[in-house]
């Protein structure tokens, strides 16, 4: 069977899982079975564990129509998180739309680093906030922290604002549409965080189609060497950071040395590796 299921037949959960696994496999979609299960969970408003005890449940015609729409989007290589409109990060669920980068698990390292070093630092800046995951996750764990969240995309700022509301930290977060490459906040900060669009322009064409064709271009790349934002902050940091302040950046693959070089001299730097021993976070503080 290669077509999306017709409505006339009665389809059970188990049949659909089997069908979806094969169909997505043919379409080159990774984790086809898991994807199908998560789509079914969404359509049936149920949890994965419940699917397993309800394998013989037949889908209603309108449920099949909804599922068919989702399946077609996945078959076109649209990311699952955009189809579902949500993604998990740091054990929290966030709204995501095509206006924002899909949260990546690697970014949890940055969040953990900030939480463990926040001490009495209170005023924080999240540059390129996207869905707001960094500020919202930290704000939730550090109730005394106050955040300015900026992004050059107003669509992203709207999503981030809703995520702050959703997690009850709206009173700790202020949002502003701002492009840090050409503008700067007027206040100063104890902590500055950024997960920059660090993919070099020359590498964009090598990205998986699910990423390249769907995630916001400006959230992925600086259209240059991938280092523009580290470079900019190596200058701007001097006027934005309070004494005893800390800047924490996520690093792209293979960027640690070049990024550290940009901060050499006026700044202290420390690189943190992820669990796969890949340099993942750059911490910067003044001499």
Name the site residues for ligand GLN (rule: CB under 6 A).
101, 103, 107, 128-131, 133-134, 195, 197, 219
Length of the chain: 287
CB of 265 to ligand GLN, least distance (A): 27
Structure tokens at 209: 């189609």
What is the Cα–Cα distance from 153 to 54, expressed in whole angstroms? 43
What is the Cα–Cα distance from 233 to 194, expressed in whole angstroms? 10
What is the Cα–Cα distance from 168 to 12, expressed in whole angstroms? 39
What is the Cα–Cα distance from 134 to 169, expressed in whole angstroms? 12
Question: Helix 107-117 vs helix 133-141: angle between axes, to the nearest 10 degrees?
Answer: 40
Identify which of residues 64 and 160 has a Cβ nearer to ligand GLN in the complex.
Answer: 160
Identify which of residues 197 and 245 has a Cβ nearer to ligand GLN in the complex.
Answer: 197
Identify which of residues 70 and 230 has a Cβ nearer to ligand GLN in the complex.
Answer: 230
Closest CA to 130 of 270, 250, 262: 250
CB of 218 to ligand GLN, least distance (A): 8
Identify which of residues 180 and 219 has a Cβ nearer to ligand GLN in the complex.
Answer: 219
CB of 94 to ligand GLN, least distance (A): 9
Identify which of residues 40 and 248 has a Cβ nearer to ligand GLN in the complex.
Answer: 248
How buried is residue 205: exposed, middle or buried, by Cβ count under 10 Å (0-12/13-18/19+)? exposed
What is the Cα–Cα distance from 271 to 259, expressed in whole angstroms? 10
Pairing mode, strands 86-89 and 146-151? unpaired
What is the Cα–Cα distance from 214 to 225, expressed in whole angstroms? 21
CB of 269 to ligand GLN, least distance (A): 20
Angle value at C-alpha 7, between 6 and 13, nearest 5 degrees: 90
CB of 149 to ligand GLN, least distance (A): 9
CB of 172 to ligand GLN, least distance (A): 16
CB of 181 to ligand GLN, least distance (A): 13
Identify which of residues 67 and 125 has a Cβ nearer to ligand GLN in the complex.
Answer: 125
Identify which of residues 31 and 105 has a Cβ nearer to ligand GLN in the complex.
Answer: 105
What is the Cα–Cα distance from 217 to 250, expressed in whole angstroms? 18
Identify which of residues 156 and 262 has a Cβ nearer to ligand GLN in the complex.
Answer: 156
Q: What is the enclosing helix (H) or strand (E) of 123?
A: strand 123-127
Q: What is the enclosing helix (H) or strand (E) of 279?
A: strand 279-286
CB of 69 to ligand GLN, least distance (A): 26
Which residue has the closest beta carbon to ligand GLN?
Answer: 130
């Amino acid at each position: 069977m290669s077509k999306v299921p017709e409505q006339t037949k009665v389809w059970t959960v188990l049949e659909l899982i089997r069908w979806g696994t094969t169909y997505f496999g043919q379409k080159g979609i990774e984790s086809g079975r898991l994807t199908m299960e998560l789509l079914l969970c969404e359509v049936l408003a149920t949890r994965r564990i419940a699917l397993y005890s309800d394998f013989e449940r037949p889908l209603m015609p309108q449920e099949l129509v909804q599922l068919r729409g989702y399946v077609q989007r996945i078959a076109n290589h649209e990311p699952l998180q955009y189809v579902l409109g949500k993604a998990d990060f740091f054990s929290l669920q966030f709204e995501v739309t095509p206006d924002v980068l899909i949260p990546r698990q690697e970014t949890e390292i940055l969040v953990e680093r900030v939480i463990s070093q926040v001490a009495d630092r209170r005023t924080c800046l999240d540059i390129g906030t996207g869905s707001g995951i960094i500020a919202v996750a930290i704000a939730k764990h550090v109730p005394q922290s106050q955040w300015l969240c900026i992004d050059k995309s107003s669509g992203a700022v709207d999503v981030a604002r809703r995520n702050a509301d959703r997690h009850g930290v709206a009173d700790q977060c202020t949002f502003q549409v701002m492009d840090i490459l050409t503008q700067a906040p007027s206040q100063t900060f104890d902590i500055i965080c950024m997960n920059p669009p660090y993919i070099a322009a020359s590498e964009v064409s090598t990205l998986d189609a699910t990423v390249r064709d769907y995630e916001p271009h400006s959230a992925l790349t600086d259209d240059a060497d991938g280092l523009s934002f580290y470079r900019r902050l190596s200058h701007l940091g001097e006027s934005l950071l309070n004494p005893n302040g800390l800047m924490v950046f996520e690093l792209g693959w293979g960027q640690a040395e070049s990024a550290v070089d940009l901060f050499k001299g006026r700044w202290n730097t420390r690189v943190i590796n992820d669990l796969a021993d890949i340099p993942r976070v750059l911490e910067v503080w003044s001499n």
